[in-house]
Amino acid sequence: MGLAWVQYNVRYYIFALIFLIFDVETLFLYPWAVSIKAIGPVAIAEMFLFLAILILGLVYAWKKGVLEWL
């Protein structure tokens, strides 16, 4: 028996948040991929901008060392 209060490293929460961000990205990409012929070139450019922003965020997190477990 012990205390119910257990402290976790904050890196686990950050790793989980990054996972959720890219999981939600998949939800946004699926409807776009299904209707790619009907949406037009402006929407395609906006989707690539969306992907570029997410990739920049991933690179930033990677350079800060957030994705390392140890």
7-64 pLDDT tens trace: 777 778 888 888 888 888 888 888 888 888 888 888 888 888 988 998 898 899 889 8
Range of the domain at 16: 10-64
Please give the pLDDT value at position 1: 66
pLDDT band per the 50, 70, 90 thresholds, residue 70: low
For residues 67 and 12, what is the distance between their CA atoms, to the nearest angstrom? 9
In a domain, 69, yes or no: no
Instruction: Indicate the DSSP class of residue 65.
Output: T
In a domain, 3, yes or no: no
Count of domains for the chain:
1
In a domain, 70, yes or no: no
Which amino acid type is present at position 54? L
In a domain, 1, yes or no: no
- Cβ atoms of 36 and 44 within 8 Å: the answer is yes
In a domain, 4, yes or no: no
Please give the pLDDT value at position 56: 93
Please give the pLDDT value at position 2: 67
For residues 70 and 65, what is the distance between their CA atoms, to the nearest angstrom? 10
Which amino acid type is present at position 36? I
For residues 43 and 61, what is the distance between their CA atoms, to the nearest angstrom? 27
